[in-house]
A and B are shown apart, each in its own frame.
Chain A
Amino acid sequence: MTIADPMLIGLLVLGIGAGALGALVGIGGGVVIVPVLLLVFGFDVRVAVATSLLAVVATSVAAGSVHLGTGLANLRIGLSLEVVTIAGGIAGGLIATSIDPRFLSVLLAVVLGVSAALLLKGRDEHGLRDGPGDAEPIEAHQTVGRLAGTYQDGHGGGLVAYEARRVPAGASLALGAGALSGMLGVGGGFLKVPAMNLVMQLPLKVSAATSNFMVGLTALGSLFIYIARGYFYPYPAAPVVIGVMLGGLVGARLQHRSSPNVLRLVLSGVLTIVAVQLILGGAGA
Chain B
Amino acid sequence: MATLLPRVIERIGGDRVHPRSAAQVVMRAGLLVASLLMSLGIVIRAAAGGAAHPVRFSQLLSAPAPGDQLLMAGALVLALTPAAQVVVVLVGWARIRDFRYAGVAAAVIGMILLGMVLGVRG
A217 touches B108 (CB 8 A): yes
Q: Which of A51-92 contact B (CB under 8 A)?
A: 54, 57-58, 60-62, 64-65, 68-69, 71, 75-76, 79-80, 82-83, 86-87, 89-90
A228 touches B57 (CB 8 A): yes
B107 CB-CB contact with A under 8 Å: yes
Q: Which of B2-52 contact A (CB under 8 A)?
A: 17-21, 23-24, 27-28, 30-31, 34-35, 38-39, 41-43, 45-47, 49, 52
In the complex, what distance in Å separates the CA atom of A125 from the CA atom of B49?
51
In the complex, what distance in Å separates the CA atom of A89 from the CA atom of B101?
21
> How many residues belonging to A are interface residues under a CB distance threshold of 8 Å?
58
Checking A8, A217, A234 against B71 with a beta-carbon cut-off of 8 angstroms, the contacting residue is: A234
Q: Which of A191-247 contact B (CB under 8 A)?
A: 216-217, 220-239, 241-242, 245
Interface of A is mostly: helix
From known contacts A58-B78, A234-B71, A242-B42, infer whether A83 and B107 are also in contact, taking CB-CB under 8 Å: yes
A229, closest chain B residue (CB): B122
Q: Which residues on the B side are within 8 Å of A140 (C-beta)?
A: 17-18, 96
How many residue pairs between the two chains, A and B, have CB atoms under 8 Å in the bound complex?
180
A86 touches B71 (CB 8 A): no
Checking B31, B43, B82 against A3 with a beta-carbon cut-off of 8 angstroms, the contacting residue is: B43
Q: Which residues on the B side are within 8 Å of A230 (C-beta)?
A: 54, 56
A3 touches B47 (CB 8 A): yes
Residues 161-194 of A, flagged 1 when their CB comes within 8 A of B and 0 if not, give 0000000000000000000000000000000000
